[in-house]
Amino acid sequence: MAHAHLDAVKTYLLELQDRLCQGLAEEDGRAKFREDAWTRDEGGGGRSRVIENGALFEKGGVNFSHVYGAQLPPSATAARPELAGRGFHAVGVSWVLHPENPHVPTSHGNVRFFIAEKAGEAPVWWFGGGFDLTPFYPVLDDVRHWHRVARNACAPFGDDVYPRYKAWCDDYFYLKHRGETRGVGGLFFDDLNDWGFDKSFAFQRAVGDAFLDAYLPIARRRRETPWGERERDFQLYRRGRYVEFNLVWDRGTLFGLQSGGRTESILMSMPPLARWDYGWEPKPGSPEATLYRDYLRPRDWLGEASA
C-alpha cells in the first residue's frame, strides 16, 4: 500500500519538475537548466537542475530527490517523536529562484511526501510543502495576485484551508532573531494526512500546479523595471536574510543535511551573491523603508483588498 502511494507521488513530482523547468526557462528566454543526477550511498538519489546567468534568473534551481533509509533523521521526528527509529522514504521537489533584477522577487517552493515504516505496523505517511514570495521592492498588486492564486488553489479543499496555511507560512518564514518575516508569505503545510491519501495528494498537486500561475505574471511585469547600484546593493543585503533563514531556521535544509543528502543540491537554494552591512537601516521615506514598514509582517492581503 505504501509503495503504491510512493510510486504515484513520485511520478507526479518528476513531471512537475519538468513543467517547472520548461516554464521558467521559457520565461528567462536565454539560459537553460542543466541537470546533475546523483545517488546517495544510504539509499536513493535525485536530479538537480540549475539555471544561471540568464536574462531573468541570476541563479535558480529545481531539484527532485527520493531518499530512503533505516532511520528518520532527528529533524523529521522533532514534532513527532513517536516515529523515531522508523525507516523512511522521502520524495519531493524543491525550487528557489534568484532573479538578477532587484524588482523581480525571489521565490521558493516545495512539495514533498514522507513514509515512515516499521515492521509489523502500518506505514505512516504525510504530505508537506508550499510556496512563498520574497520581494525587495514590493508592489501591492503583485502581492495580492500571489495570494489570490494561493487562495484559489486551496478553495476546493475548504474555506478554512487558505487562512490556516497562509498563517502557518507567516509563522514559519519568520526570522525570530530579526523580528521580521522573510517576505510576504504564501502557503505552508506539513503533516497532512487527516484528509486521506486521495484528497491530500490532490491538494499537494494543486499547490505544485499553482506556482507558475502565481509567479510568472509578477516576473513578466517587473523584469524590465530599471535598476542601478542602489537597488542592487539593497537586493544583496536582503539576500543575506534569505541565507540566515535557510541556515538557522529551515527544517528542510536541516533534514537534507541530517539525512546525508547531497550538500551541493541542498545548498542550491543559496543566492549567488549576498552581503551583510553592520548596523544598516533604511532612510526614512525611501522605497527600502517601505519594505520594512509595510511588508515584513503578517497582513491579511486579500481581506484588505476587499475592504
Active site residue 108: yes
Q: Is 147 annotated as a binding residue?
A: yes
Q: Is 260 annotated as a binding residue?
A: yes
Q: Are 171 and 164 in contact (CB under 8 A)?
A: no
Query: CA of 17: how far to CAs of 48, 101, 179, 209, 307, in Å?
Result: 10, 24, 34, 10, 38
Q: Is 207 annotated as a binding residue?
A: no
Q: Is 3 annotated as a binding residue?
A: no
Gap between the Cα atoms of 63 and 72, Å rounded:
21
Q: Is 285 annotated as a binding residue?
A: no
Catalytically annotated residue among 5, 66, 89, 108:
108
Side chain identity, residue 59: K
Q: Is 110 annotated as a binding residue?
A: yes
- Give the phi and the psi of residue 286 in degrees, each rounded to 5: -85, 160
152: part of which helix (H) or strand (E)? Answer: helix 140-154
Q: Is 261 annotated as a binding residue?
A: yes
Gap between the Cα atoms of 130 and 169, Å rounded:
8
Q: Is 262 annotated as a binding residue?
A: yes
Side chain identity, residue 237: Y
Q: How many CA atoms lie within 13 A of 130 on its CB side?
A: 25
Nearest to 183 by CA among 199, 172, 197, 198: 172
Q: Is 112 annotated as a binding residue?
A: yes
Gap between the Cα atoms of 56 and 226, Å rounded:
13
Q: Is 89 annotated as a binding residue?
A: no
Q: Is 98 annotated as a binding residue?
A: yes
Q: Are 167 and 217 in contact (CB under 8 A)?
A: no
> Residue ranges for the binding site for a divalent metal cation?
98, 108, 147, 177
> Residue ranges for the binding site?
94, 98, 108, 110-112, 147, 177, 260-262
Active-site annotation, residues: 108
